[in-house]
Chains A and B, each alone.
Chain A
């Protein structure tokens, strides 16, 4: 079974600074996908960034980028130029394709607070 571990329950950062959220995972699969989701108080899970395991290049989306280390099974999220609107819970998630079942396996989340 796949597991996802986020070792930082809470983090804080000053506005405009950079912060990195950690995520490690365990799987015996060779082909899979990794995601970072943001969950504000509205509770809706919002996709931040995705990474295909077969791609060596790290994904980037504007101020968000990842450091994907496949051998180490590590998938960290870097947020640059942090904004107050980035305050939320952040979840790392794993997905493998298996006969049509494409469930997301989530970590426990990291609560990020951006301070003015």
Chain B
């Protein structure tokens, strides 16, 4: 089966600009996650969708970050305006119906964002 697709693979922007990342999960996977991985740290969950509804966005900086999954399939994550500290890898993951019941997530290869 095809994996979790993410684009772009790399992005460099200036601070205060906006940026958007795209994720297409594995077909049929109801749950989609966005993680932020800052250099030297483990990934941190930003938002979890179940179909097109938000399950957990407690760690999403809502003043500048937004995410949507309008048709319950692909998703976009947006940052506006970007700050230097947003430089990180943004990983998308999906699972059939909750991570553990499906024996874990499937991750994409991420988007590396550099804010200068």
Contacts and interface: CB of A to CB of B under 8 A. Distances in A.
Contacts of A91: 42-43
Contacts of A93: 42
Interface string B79-116: 00000000001010101001110011101111010000
A25 interface: no
A101 B108 contact: no
B100 A108 contact: no
B21 interface: no
A102 B42 contact: no
**Which residue of A50, A91, A101 has the most chain B CB atoms within 10 A of its CB atom?**
A101
24 contacts: A4-B42, A43-B89, A43-B109, A43-B110, A43-B112, A44-B107, A44-B110, A45-B43, A46-B107, A47-B103, A50-B100, A50-B104, A95-B99, A97-B98, A101-B56, A102-B48, A102-B95, A104-B35, A104-B43, A106-B41, A106-B42, A107-B42, A108-B40, A109-B41
A100 to B, nearest CB: 5
Interface residues of B, number: 29
B55 A95 contact: no
Most chain A beta-carbon neighbours within 10 Å: one of B44, B99, B104, B112: B104
A80 to B, nearest CB: 22
Given A102-B98, A106-B42, A107-B42, 4 more contacts: A44-B108, A45-B91, A101-B48, A104-B99
A109 B42 contact: yes
Interface residues of A, number: 23
Contacts of B75: none
A33 interface: yes
A28 interface: no
B103 A50 contact: yes
A104 B31 CA distance: 13
A62 interface: no
A91 B40 CA distance: 11
Interface in A74-116: 91, 93, 95, 97, 100-104, 106-109
Contact of A106 (B43, B55, B89, B109): B43
Contacts of A95: 99-100
